[in-house]
Amino acid sequence: MKLIVGLGNPGKKYEKTRHNLGFMVLDEFLRQLAGPEETIWQEIKKARTKIYKDQKGSILAKPQTMMNNSGLAVTKTSCFFKIKPEDIWVVHDELDLPLGKIKIVRSRGAAGHKGVASIIKELGTNDFVRFRLGIGWPEHKLNEREAQRYVLSPFTKKEKSQVKRLLKKTIKAVKLALDEGLEKAENQFN
């Protein structure tokens, strides 16, 4: 059983922002899995997350904490379903990758991503898989406040077609990893 976690911030205010790319991937993945009429997320209040359990036993999860506290929801959800850290896959936005690029990594540090840092802290390990999705980096170097504003901004009209392609590519990578193994997905998409 895999726990596939999409990172984002709950609420309409954040829905279309760069930081919610993980939520966007899971929403689209669920639409493809279950169809539009069955895309109902089940809320597990104790775990502070919304989940969908597919027929193969994988669990899609969207933490309902703010991004910087994602670790609380991930830890509670993994405990609730008795899932080991190495069976947790986290899908998230990544400033350090160009828009549209995907990189699958295992057992790595947070690289400045506060949601990932929270997961590492709460799980007590970095022994999980990350699907890092490039959201691009503006031409000038950003300080922390500017970076925060940037990740909480929506994609531009010009970027939306690249984002659609990235969503499709990420879903293909996750499906391939589920069906044929993580190594095959890493070889094809990294």
Of 19, 92, 113, 140, which is the active-site residue? 19
Whole-number Å distance between alpha carbons of 155 and 136? 10
Query: In the annotation, is 140 catalytic?
Result: no
Whole-number Å distance between alpha carbons of 38 and 89? 23
Strand-by-strand arrangement of the 102-106 sheet:
42-44, 49-53, 59-63, 3-6, 88-94, 129-134, 102-106
Whole-number Å distance between alpha carbons of 49 and 31? 18
Instruction: Tell me the longest C-alpha to C-alpha distance in the chain.
Output: 46
The set of catalytic residues is 19
